Structure 1
Amino acid sequence: MKIRLEHKNIGAALMQIAEHDQFTAINSMKVNGEKINNAFKINHNIGIFCKYASEPNSLGEYLFTFTSDHIKDIREIATQSEKTFIVLACIEDGEICNLEYSNFEKLIENRRKFAGTNEDSYQILVTAELGKSLKAYVNAAGKKGTIAGKGITIARKSFPDQLFE
């Protein structure tokens, strides 16, 4: 099997999980008997869905696009897991943003409220300013550079410990 770019970029997050003292197992996540790309069951109770962005845009934001299929899969992962996280690898800055499922849903809802409708896909933006916590947020529909609702602040040191708390 050839090594794909996602193997390298998501592999960094999986290595940190595997090196954690409380780690015991990793398996592919399945929905309706089919494997979900980049989704894993950690130990027996933790579901993760991983994405990566190679570099930030000109505003210093990493863009992570979630299609309606991604969101459907993540929601199914949440029904199968005691804890669910969206793991966002910000490659150029060498940071991993560990977004709790409930915060992921809040961000999607923030965008829906500002758009006034459901959309086919959603972009979550993450900033990794030097010396500051990571920030995850969505933009208001039709208002570039305006955050919809409140963003989520995530401690840089939360990954991977938060998975096992």
Structure 2
Amino acid sequence: MKIRLEQQNIGAAVMQIAEHDQFTAINSLKVSGKAVSNSFLINSHIAILCKYASEPNASGEYAFTFTEDQMKTLSSLLAKHEQLFFGLVCVEVGEICCLPKAQFQELIGYRKASAGKDELQYTILVTLKAGSSFRVYVNAAGTKGKFAGERLTIPRKDFPDSIFG
């Protein structure tokens, strides 16, 4: 089987998890018996969904888009898994932003409040400057260059330690 680009990029996150002292097992994460793409169940109780962005956009942001279908799957996973994390792989800088479930929901809430409604898809933006933590945010609906809600700060070294926390 030929190696796909997503397998190479997501594999970086999986390797760091597997090399952690508290790691014991990894399985595919399933909803209604069907495996969720790029998602894993770690140590039988920790869910992680991995996404990657190859390079930042012109504004220096790594964009991670969650489509309508992915959001439907996520609504089921968010309800089922207390320990749920998003491994956002920023390929060009070789770093992984570990976004916990509560912060993901907070960001989506900011965007929904800004738009005044549910949207078909959501984009989480991540920036990383040399020597600093990740800044994670969503843009305000209908306006360029403005944030919806607050920008969150995620320590650079959180992944993978925080998922085992």
> TM-score by structure 1 length?
0.97
- Tell me how far 1:67 sits from its aligned partner: 1.0
Matched AA of 1:116: G
After TM superposition, the structure 1 = structure 2 runs for residues 125-164 of structure 1, keeping only pairs within 5 Å, are: 125-164=125-164
- Tell me how far 1:2 sits from its aligned partner: 1.4
After TM superposition, the structure 1 = structure 2 runs for residues 1-165 of structure 1, keeping only pairs within 5 Å, are: 1-165=1-165
Give a deviation string over 1:107-128, Cα, whole Å, max 9, x none: 0110011111111001100001
Percent identical residues: 56
Matched AA of 1:124: I
> Tell me, what secondary structure is at the counterpart of 2:85?
strand
CA–CA separation in structure 2 for the residues paired with 1:69 and 1:49: 14
Q: Which sections of structure 2, spanning at least 5 residues, go unmatched?
A: none
> Tell me, what secondary structure is at the counterpart of 1:127?
strand
> Tell me, what secondary structure is at the counterpart of 2:63?
strand
Give a deviation string over 1:26-56, Cα, whole Å, max 9, x none: 0001101111101100011100111000000
Q: Is the 8 A contact 1:67 1:122 kept in 2?
A: yes
Aligned CA-pair RMSD: 0.9
Q: Is the 8 A contact 1:126 1:137 kept in 2?
A: yes
CA–CA separation in structure 2 for the residues paired with 1:106 and 1:24: 30
CA–CA separation in structure 2 for the residues paired with 1:86 and 1:75: 14
- Tell me how far 1:152 sits from its aligned partner: 1.2
CA–CA separation in structure 1 for the residues paired with 2:56 and 2:19: 27
Comparing 72-81 with 27-36, greater Cα deviation is found at: 72-81
Count of residue pairs the alignment pairs up: 165
CA–CA separation in structure 2 for the residues paired with 1:27 and 1:62: 27
> Tell me, what secondary structure is at the counterpart of 1:120?
coil
* Cα pair distance change 1:141/1:82, threshold 3 Å: closer
Matched AA of 2:77: I
CA–CA separation in structure 2 for the residues paired with 1:39 and 1:125: 20
CA–CA separation in structure 1 for the residues paired with 2:88 and 2:74: 13
